[in-house]
Amino acid sequence: MVLAVVHEHDAVRAVETLAARGFGVTKLASEGGFLQQRNVVLLIAVDDLEVDAVVATVRSAGRSRHESVPEPSPPTEAAPAAVEVEVGRATLFVLGLDRVERL
């Protein structure tokens, strides 16, 4: 099982690319983390031999970019109201499954 946390702007491309390559994917909306950005969690159940292909597919679908996001604490004269950060990359977790049933 590959669990991929993908930036919402990259999610459509990731799902379409995975589907085009024959991988079934379940999409869950999520939000949170350090930047409080909207993300999508993709659940992709595949055989061990297909994990590298799924990782490569998700990697090809994401594009990093810089966005200005609100400062996590209230702005002061010394600290700006927003900071520029890199977004658009995915975080993937590869989990072993004892059993998968498609009904």
Q: Quick check: 77 pLDDT over 70? A: no
Contacts of 12 (CB under 8 A, 6+ apart): none
Domain boundaries, given as residue ranges, for the chain: 2-94
CA distance 70 to 61: 26
Model's pTM, two decimal places? 0.72
Give the C-alpha distances (Å, rounded to integers) separating 100 from 47, 58, 72. 10, 22, 40
pLDDT given at position 56:
93
pLDDT given at position 76:
60
Can you say how many angstroms the Cα of residue 16 is from the centroid of all Cα atoms in its chain?
Answer: 14
Can you say how many angstroms the Cα of residue 100 is from the centroid of all Cα atoms in its chain?
Answer: 22
Q: Which CATH number fits domain 2-94: 3.40.50.300, 3.40.50.720, 3.30.70.120, 3.30.70.3040?
A: 3.30.70.120
